[in-house]
Amino acid sequence: MKLKNGAAYIDSLRQLHPRIYYKGKPIMDVTRHPATAPHVRAAAMTYALAAKPQYKELATATSHLTGRTISRFTHVHQSVEDLIKKIKLLRVLGQKTGTCFQRCVGFDGINAVYSVAYEVDRKYGTDYLERFKTWLIGMQDENKMVVGAMTDPKGDRSKGPVEQSDPDQYVRVVERRPDGVVIRGAKLHMTGAVNSHEILVMPTTALDEHARDYAIVCAIPIDAPGITLIFGRQAGDDRRDQLERIDAGKPRFGAVGGEAVIAFEDVFVPNERIFLNGETDLTGALVYRFAAHHRANYGACKTGLMDVLTGAVSYLAQIQGAAKGSHIRDKVTEMIHLSETLYSSSIACSAEGSPTPSGAYLVDTMLANVCKHNVTRFHFEVARLAVDIAGGFIATLPSEHDLDSAEVGHIVRKYFSGIAGIPVRDRIKIGRLIEAMTGGTAMVESMHGAGSPQAQRIMIFREGRLDEKIKLAKALAGISHRGKKKKGGAMA
């Protein structure tokens, strides 16, 4: 791997020149700008762990394409063991960063595209998989970070891609050339986009034959001509941008994953970087497999975050003299229970994984949807319990400027103290951490990342195997599979 540690990753970003805007102004260096630097550091942790002996087994893998050691985030799952190691790695990274470390979307896109390209080639005689392998080996050897770009703006959601008054509401091919295609459109809410090396573009929904121009999968360098990124605002970003080290809550790693808009304004993509081009009948499988892989993640990475949050409120209860209260212990116990329930769900859908025709392994899709749907409930409940335990002071804390003020600092230090021997600054720091982890962007992402709750409910119902369950019930009740006709045609 060319990029062997976090420092090498950060340095590699300085060699790129993407067009990025934030609050209407360009960002020239994402590794130093206060809005993006925390997210760069969080992603760098995926590189740092791979360099540590105690995490190497989780953070690296052996490429089935080359036999070389690679980052697990560029690996195609070859076994159930691979799926489980991924889950264990994500929990550790959540614990280390307390936020999103951003490489999962590209990772899941790689696995979905690999398996679908194989099936497209078998059906149509194309060479998409060989193209994809060539590109992927480059990603593995260079250890590049890939942003998976799936979510389109969608415009009028009552209409499909070809029915939109503005056809660019879904990314599409606007020109086909002998050597490639030109694409136009946008992808929204792209986690880690501004600090990735490459974009893996995928359709956001299953498509029919009328939407052939929208059935495009391709890879594009982040700084290719015609690409513009707009970095999104987050709760508390003014505190972060002004380098308020305490009030930001998590100044080192930031909130969630640093989402951005990616606009494609007539971007040329050469043939060797195109992995699906018009084969609409396989787009549903691609979206379905990507979603399953990605939803499986949430019971792991969010559990890591919940571990941090549980530790934060437990420490706060200790320094406030409330930790021995039975109601506090009961609420902390419930936080642990919910966290471990989510984690077991991620492990379960991985342990029940199976190979696709390509040989790449896919998680159990039903259990993956159940896992993510539980995240939309359990993470909010853990956050509610954390705020309950912490008390109202985290919502009305004076700023660090007041704490350090010559005029009023003594008042803050006097009245925000806890048990003897614990600095007031530490109590405020842990309070701000809890605030950052329970509000704003963090909870929105838990709800809508990898699809809204309704998307999971739809898939859970589809995969519920109701016909089989009805047969089980009929068998136990002694009801025959088919009713017998009486004379005259009536059913018995």
* Residue of 294, 356, 373, 435 marked active site: 294
Q: Are 18 and 197 in contact (CB under 8 A)?
A: no
Q: Is 371 labeled as catalytic in the residue annotation?
A: no
In angstroms, the CA 331 to CA 349 distance is 28
Rounded-to-integer distance, Cα 145 and Cα 476, Å: 53
Of 33, 97, 100, 303, which is the active-site residue? 100
Of 380, 346, 361, 377, nearest to 453 by C-alpha is 377
Active-site choice (22, 170, 298, 343)? 298
The sign one gets for the Cα dihedral 459, 460, 461, 466 is: positive
List the catalytic residue out of 97, 99, 151, 191: 191
Asked about 218 being catalytic, the answer comes back as: no
Known catalytic membership, residue 191: yes
For the question of residue 100 being annotated catalytic, the response is yes
Our answer to whether residue 114 is catalytic in this structure is no
Residue 444 CB partners (closer than 8 Å, separation 6+): none
Query: Which H or E run includes 259?
Result: strand 259-270
Q: What SS3 class is residue 138?
A: helix
DSSP-assigned beta bridge partners for residue 182: 175, 268
Task: Collapse the DSSP code of 118 into the 3-class scheme (helix H, G, I; strand E, B; otherwise coil) and give the result.
Answer: helix
**Residue tagged active-site, from 119, 198, 244, 259:** 259
Catalytic residue among 104, 218, 349, 371: 104
Residues 6 or more apart whose Cβ sits within 8 Å of residue 72 = 50, 58, 59, 60, 61, 85, 86, 89, 107
Which alpha helices (H) appear in 325-448, and where do they start and end?
326-351, 365-390, 400-403, 409-415, 424-438, 441-448
Count H helices and E strands in the chain, helices first.
16, 14
**Residue 301 annotated to the active site:** yes
Please tell me which residue in 301, 310, 361, 373 is annotated as part of the active site: 301
The residues that are catalytic are 100, 104, 191, 259, 294, 298, 301, 445
